[in-house]
Amino acid sequence: MKNNPITVSICIPTYNQTFYLRKVLDSIFEQSFLDFEIIISDDSTNNSVKNLIDEYKQYDNIFYYAHSKPLGSPENWNFALKKANGKFIKVMHHDDWFIEVNSLEKLVNSAKNNNKSLVFSAGQSIRNNIISIHKPNRKLIEKFNHMPMDLLKGNFIGGPSSVLFHNTNKLFDNKLKWLVDIDYYVELIRDGYKIVYLEELLYASVIDDHNITNDCINNFELNLYEHTRLYLKYTHSFYDKMKYFFIIYSNLNKIKKTSVLQLYNYIKYCKKNDK
C-alpha cells in the first residue's frame, strides 16, 4: 500500500464471465462516492473480459491484469489485493453489484467512523429468478466479535462482496477455497477488528450452477480439510477445542455420515503432518 493512497480499491477477480460483469462495473461507476480505483485480476482463458474492459477506456481508474495461466481461487483475489493502493478494500466478484448509488458511500462512511472495522451490509441473492434477502439479526453480531469461530455455524456476514475493510496487506489463505472468507474474517477479528453492520440492502449477488459455492458446498473431502485447517489455526483452549470439534462434526454430517473417531483421527493426522 502506498503512502498516499486513494480511499477505496475495488478488487474484482474474473474468469470468462462478462454478462454480470458489465452490470457490476456500471453499478460502480454510478456510485456517488468517486474516490476509488478498480483492479481487474483476470483468470480468463479467452479475451471476453479484456474486450469488455476495453469499452471502459474513458475511465482512468480501472486497471486490468490478465494472467497467462489461471491463478485459481483465492490467488486471483490475492493478486488484486497486492495491487491495491486504497485505504480500504472492497472485493467484488463478477456477479455482484451495488443496489443503490450511495452503497459505497455508506460503507466508506461507516468504516471511517469505526477504526479497525469489518463493515458489511444486508444484501440480496438471486437464484433462478428468486430473490432471497440476507439480513442477519443485529443482536447476534456482538457475540461474534468475541467468538468469531462461531461463523462456522453459519456465515451470517456473507462473501467478500458484502464487506469493506481496511487495507492491511493481509492476503487470503491460498490453501482454502470454501471457507476462505470465514478464515479471513476470523483473522481480522482476532487482530482487533470489530464487525460493523448496516441494515440497508446495499449489494446483490447471483448464484448459478457454475460458481464456487455449488462446487464446494457438498464436497465432503474439501469441507473436512478446510474445517480442520481452521480448527488447528484458531482453537487453543480445551473449551474451544471441544466446542468447535462438535460444530465441525455437525457440519460434516450434513454432507456425509462420519464418526467422532474418524474426525478425531483426521485432525490428529493433519496436526502431525502440518497440513
Task: Tell me: do 165 and 65 sit in the same domain.
Answer: yes
Task: Tell me: do 153 and 232 sit in the same domain.
Answer: no
Judge contact between 175 and 203, C-beta under 8 A.
no
Task: Tell me: do 145 and 97 sit in the same domain.
Answer: yes
Task: Tell me: do 122 and 194 sit in the same domain.
Answer: yes
Write down the pTM of the prediction: 0.93
Find out whether the peptide bond into 74 is cis, omega within 30 degrees of 0. Answer: yes
Task: Tell me: do 70 and 184 sit in the same domain.
Answer: yes
Task: Tell me: do 111 and 186 sit in the same domain.
Answer: yes
Tracing cell 481508474 back to the chain, one arrives at: 61
Q: How many domains does the chain have?
A: 2
pLDDT at 217: 85
pLDDT at 77: 96
Task: Tell me: do 156 and 256 sit in the same domain.
Answer: no
* pLDDT mean values, one per 10 residues, the chain (275 residues): 77 94 97 98 97 96 96 96 96 94 97 93 90 86 89 90 92 95 95 94 82 77 97 96 97 96 97 86
Say how far apart CA 156 and CA 109 lie, in whole Å: 22
Q: Strands 36-42 and 8-14, how do they pair?
A: parallel
Give the torsion sign (CA, 238, 242, 216, 143).
negative
Judge contact between 26 and 92, C-beta under 8 A.
no
pLDDT at 274: 82
70 burial via Cβ count (<10 Å: 0-12, 13-18, 19+): middle
Tracing cell 494472467 back to the chain, one arrives at: 67
Q: Strands 8-14 and 88-91, how do they pair?
A: parallel
Q: Please write down the HEC assignment for all residues of 181-221.
A: HHHHHHHHHHCCCEEEEEEEEEEEEECCCCCHHHHHCCCHH
pLDDT at 160: 85
Task: Tell me: do 203 and 262 sit in the same domain.
Answer: no
Q: Is residue 161 part of a domain?
A: yes
Say how far apart CA 53 and CA 51 lie, in whole Å: 6
Local structure of residue 175 (DSSP, 8 states): T
Task: Tell me: do 186 and 109 sit in the same domain.
Answer: yes
Cα 242 to Cα 61, 145, 230, 245: the distances in Å are 49, 20, 14, 5
DSSP H helices, the chain, are 19-29, 48-54, 75-83, 103-113, 138-146, 180-190, 212-216, 220-234, 238-253, 260-272
Q: Is residue 1 part of a domain?
A: no
Domain that holds residue 226: 218-272
Task: Tell me: do 26 and 157 sit in the same domain.
Answer: yes
pLDDT at 184: 97
Say how far apart CA 38 and CA 224 lie, in whole Å: 35
C-alpha atoms less than 13 angstroms from C-alpha of 263 in its C-beta half-sphere: 26
Q: What are the two backbone dihedrals, phi and then psi, of residue 66, each rounded to the nearest 5 degrees?
A: -100, 145
pLDDT at 3: 56
DSSP reduced 3-state for 239: helix
